[in-house]
A and B are shown apart, each in its own frame.
Chain A
Amino acid sequence: MPDYFIPGLNPLILSLKLAGVTTLLLILVATPLAWWLSQTKNIFKPFFEAIVALPLVLPPTVIGFYMLILLGPEGFIGRSWIGMGGDTLTFSFSGLVIASMVYSLPFVVQPIQNAFEGIGRHVLESAWTLGARPLGAFFSVIIPLSAKGYLTALVLGFAHTLGEFGIVLMVGGNIPDKTRVISIAIYDHVETLDYSYAHMLSAGMLIFSLLLLISVYLINHRWRIRT
């Protein structure tokens, strides 16, 4: 759909798509990682936790810079990807998803890890003695008991990816319909002094983010009342 019908629609859809795909893939990656972190007695656990938390403190340009190198045709990830029959990752949507997963990793791993740690091993032991297989016990007991952690992870991961700017600019560039997400579009409009478009998109983002967070807090609140 051409952008001029509803201004800003395409970057918005692209942003939502990027945030959605990134968050879902992250949940899949973060679940085993968070479980391992919550259970391991490895003396290097603090080291691994620090690695996961790094994107919280690094400037997005630093992550973006290293991701650009890794995802490039000569980089480790980029070369393997092309080796498996994929296209160049830099300045593509797929590359953007991979970079966003790194960027939002702590926002998804940490709430899930906290939820797992809050449950403790004894619940698993009950499930086993009641005849549940290890994996079955994980899905029928651990995951439902961590529902709140997952909800937090989903929302934080989604909202954080939606709001990213620096990494997208470094890894994805500014290609309409491919990598031009809403934050880039806003930046563009401001650069060209097109303030009315910038206003519209910014206000839209503001309201959407606010609604998203309100719904989470509402659900959390209900949860607390029920239990």
Chain B
Amino acid sequence: MTTSDITIKFNNSSIDLDVCFPLPTRGISGLFGPSGSGKTTLIRCLAGLEKSSRAHICIDGNLWQSEDIFLPPHKRRVGLVFQDVRLFDHLNVKGNLLFGYNRTPPSDRKITIEDDMKILALEPLLDKPPEKLSGGEAQRVAIGRALLTSPALLLMDEPLAALGEQHKKEILSYLKKLPKKFGIPILYVSHDFEEMATLSQYIICMENGKIQARGSALEVASQLPHIMDDWAPDNFIEGEICGTKHDQFKLPDGQLITIPPKFPASSPVRITINARDISLLRHPPEHHAGDALLKGRVKEIIKIQDEKNIIKISLAEQDVHVVLGLCGAEKPWLCPGSDVYMMINRIKLVQD
């Protein structure tokens, strides 16, 4: 089993970077932090565009940098997608895509041009010059161009930051497919925690050039209370559609809740409920309609800060997280092992 280890110390007038962390060799890892926290500098050091004073960079078993070794960028097998796209204006889309491909030794090529074009829907763009592309199209070409070098690590420095909402969604849907399809590990930089949490299984959080927390989105968020101010985890609950009007969602343990009729009966679906959209009750309310109430059992209470907790609840063998402000008075009935009722205020539907 190969690993990726990264240790970088780098300082100039604007940043004092000092990080050391292992990087997953598969999937999308997120690098999160406010602007000026050193994310871009870290990415540039990884790509070999900045010569850090002391660094040890070993990616998937290949040593890129150590005390007496410094591989220049063109020897690193690194892919880099910039926020500002940076296509070559003197080449059309096809020329841009082939630029890196032609410079990759045939024995290193893991991705074919056909696959690349197919997954990013690049075929209709091939003959266009870069200035005729929309922002989203150009970023797709930049991603496709970087992928075609079959990099050992693909770095993406806020690839969505310059795009509008529509293009953002479009690119995100392409990005999600990449790790499974090509098996190339991605390090994805963003200052948007929600974007990061939907994409990455592993998040590294930076501030002032240091790593503050790393782990799953929830682990990072529970270590850094300020993240919880704007973000709460999504819960994904598996089940199936039933009912004559296709408006019932049945959990594996038989509990039912009402959902908007959107999918045909007996189709397996995942519903998404944000941790903020659940309120906890000790008893079922006397006059409730019964259509948005689920019973679960408290597993764990994770304290975030004085007024805030994350309650982990077991619901039909699945974990559900609820963000709860205690608002002064403690609720003594909320303790591991006790049964609670969850009032669901908002549901999003996803079909796999």
**Are A131 and B149 in touch, CB under 8 angstroms?**
yes
Complex Cα distance, B75 from A136, in Å, reads 13
Q: Does B49 contact A (CB under 8 A)?
A: yes
In the complex, 19 of the A-B residue pairs with CB atoms within 8 angstroms, ordered by the A residue number, are: A122-B84, A125-B47, A125-B80, A126-B82, A126-B88, A127-B99, A128-B72, A128-B73, A129-B47, A129-B79, A130-B74, A130-B145, A131-B100, A132-B74, A132-B99, A132-B103, A134-B72, A141-B90, A227-B89
3 closest Cβ pairs, A-B complex: A130-B100, A131-B103, A128-B73
Q: Does A58 contact B (CB under 8 A)?
A: no
Q: Does A190 contact B (CB under 8 A)?
A: no
Of the candidates B88, B103, B129, B149, the one whose C-beta lies within 8 Å of that of A123 is B88
Complex Cα distance, B80 from A136, in Å, reads 18
**Are B49 and A133 in touch, CB under 8 angstroms?**
no
Of the candidates A123, A133, A227, the one whose C-beta lies within 8 Å of that of B74 is A133
- List A contacts of B49 (CB < 8 A): 125, 128-129
Complex Cα distance, B99 from A130, in Å, reads 7
- List B contacts of A131 (CB < 8 A): 74, 100, 103-104, 149
- Residue-wise, chain A 116-152 has the 8 Å CB interface mask toward B (1 for contact) of 0000001101111111111011001100110100000
Cβ distance B154 to chain A, nearest Cβ, rounded Å: 10
Since A126-B80, A129-B146 are in contact, a sample of 9 more A-B pairs with Cβ atoms closer than 8 Å, ordered by chain A residue number, is A126-B86, A128-B48, A128-B72, A130-B99, A130-B100, A132-B74, A134-B74, A137-B74, A227-B131
| Chain B 59-100 interface residues, beta-carbon cutoff 8 Å to A | 72-74, 76, 78-80, 82, 84, 86, 88-90, 99-100
Of the candidates A122, A144, A147, the one whose C-beta lies within 8 Å of that of B86 is A122
A-side interface mostly:
helix
**Are B90 and A147 in touch, CB under 8 angstroms?**
yes
What is the total number of residues of chain B having a CB less than 8 Å from a CB of chain A? 25
Q: How large is the interface on A (under 10, 10 to 19, 20 to 34, 35 or more residues)?
A: 20 to 34
Cβ distance B146 to chain A, nearest Cβ, rounded Å: 7
Complex Cα distance, B47 from A127, in Å, reads 12
**Are B80 and A129 in touch, CB under 8 angstroms?**
yes
Complex Cα distance, B49 from A102, in Å, reads 37
Complex Cα distance, B49 from A57, in Å, reads 41
Of the candidates A125, A136, A145, the one whose C-beta lies within 8 Å of that of B73 is A125
Q: Chain B: which residue is nearest A145 at the CB level?
A: B90
Of the candidates B89, B90, B103, B131, the one whose C-beta lies within 8 Å of that of A130 is B103
- List A contacts of B145 (CB < 8 A): 130
Residues of A within 8 A of B (CB): 122-123, 125-134, 136-137, 140-141, 144-145, 147, 227
- List A contacts of B82 (CB < 8 A): 122, 126
**Are A145 and B88 in touch, CB under 8 angstroms?**
yes
**Are B86 and A123 in touch, CB under 8 angstroms?**
yes
- List B contacts of A130 (CB < 8 A): 74, 99-100, 103, 145-146, 149
- List B contacts of A136 (CB < 8 A): 103
Complex Cα distance, B129 from A123, in Å, reads 16
- Residue-wise, chain B 95-130 has the 8 Å CB interface mask toward A (1 for contact) of 000011001100000000000000000000000010
Complex Cα distance, B90 from A134, in Å, reads 18
Q: Chain B: which residue is nearest A120 at the CB level?
A: B86
| Chain B 324-343 interface residues, beta-carbon cutoff 8 Å to A | none
Complex Cα distance, B129 from A140, in Å, reads 17
- List B contacts of A122 (CB < 8 A): 82, 84, 86
Complex Cα distance, B89 from A141, in Å, reads 9
**Are B88 and A141 in touch, CB under 8 angstroms?**
yes
**Are A128 and B74 in touch, CB under 8 angstroms?**
yes
Q: Chain A: which residue is nearest B77 at the CB level?
A: A131
- List B contacts of A145 (CB < 8 A): 88-90
- List B contacts of A137 (CB < 8 A): 74
- List B contacts of A147 (CB < 8 A): 90
**Are B73 and A144 in touch, CB under 8 angstroms?**
no
Complex Cα distance, B88 from A127, in Å, reads 9
**Are A129 and B131 in touch, CB under 8 angstroms?**
no
- List B contacts of A127 (CB < 8 A): 88, 99
- List B contacts of A144 (CB < 8 A): 90
| Chain B 16-58 interface residues, beta-carbon cutoff 8 Å to A | 47-49
Complex Cα distance, B129 from A145, in Å, reads 13
Cβ distance A78 to chain B, nearest Cβ, rounded Å: 43
Q: Chain A: which residue is nearest B90 at the CB level?
A: A144
Complex Cα distance, B74 from A134, in Å, reads 8
Complex Cα distance, B88 from A227, in Å, reads 13
Q: Chain B: which residue is nearest A119 at the CB level?
A: B89
- List B contacts of A227 (CB < 8 A): 89, 129, 131
Cβ distance A71 to chain B, nearest Cβ, rounded Å: 40
Cβ distance A182 to chain B, nearest Cβ, rounded Å: 37
Cβ distance A134 to chain B, nearest Cβ, rounded Å: 8
- List A contacts of B88 (CB < 8 A): 123, 126-127, 141, 145
- List A contacts of B78 (CB < 8 A): 129
Complex Cα distance, B48 from A128, in Å, reads 9
Cβ distance B9 to chain A, nearest Cβ, rounded Å: 22
- Residue-wise, chain B 124-156 has the 8 Å CB interface mask toward A (1 for contact) of 000001010000000000000110010000000
- List B contacts of A140 (CB < 8 A): 99
Complex Cα distance, B89 from A145, in Å, reads 7
Complex Cα distance, B88 from A125, in Å, reads 11
Q: Chain B: which residue is nearest A146 at the CB level?
A: B90
